[in-house]
């Protein structure tokens, strides 16, 4: 496959082999390759927003988790953070 490590390559191949609905990864290259293979990709921010939308996390918990992600080794662009926080506000205002 490309410069992907063995684990990411195996995850993509397994998702294809099992006709998986989606793949969870934050790796940019893995996301690109999985997308080209027709696999839906979800990352940490997407899982966090899903958890907030499903009320598994309240607004404060989700915002704290988003801040934690932004302060981790996972790089998030300012635009992604802004969009994610806007989505969190819509979830909390829907109650």
Q: Is 51 a residue whose pLDDT tops 90?
A: yes
Q: What is the distance between the alpha carbons of residues 94 and 33, in angstroms, rounded to a whole number?
A: 36
Task: Specify the pLDDT at position 88.
Answer: 94
Q: Residue 2 — pLDDT band, cuts 50, 70, 90?
A: low
Asked if residues 74 and 80 have their Cβ atoms less than 8 Å apart, the reply is: no
Higher pLDDT, 84 or 2: 84
Q: What is the distance between the alpha carbons of residues 14 and 78, in angstroms, rounded to a whole number?
A: 33
DSSP state of 74: S
Task: Specify the pLDDT at position 31.
Answer: 93
Which helix (H) or strand (E) segment holds residue 15: the answer is: helix 6-17
């Amino acid at each position: 496959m490309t410069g992907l490590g063995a684990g990411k390559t195996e995850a993509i191949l397994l998702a294809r082999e099992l006709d998986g609905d989606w793949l969870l990864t934050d790796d940019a290259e893995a996301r690109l390759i999985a997308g080209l293979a027709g696999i839906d990709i979800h990352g940490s921010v997407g899982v966090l927003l899903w958890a907030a939308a499903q009320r598994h996390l309240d607004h404060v918990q989700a915002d704290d988790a988003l801040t934690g992600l932004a302060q981790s080794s996972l790089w998030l662009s300012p635009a992604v953070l802004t969009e994610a926080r806007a989505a969190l506000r819509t979830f909390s205002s829907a109650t």
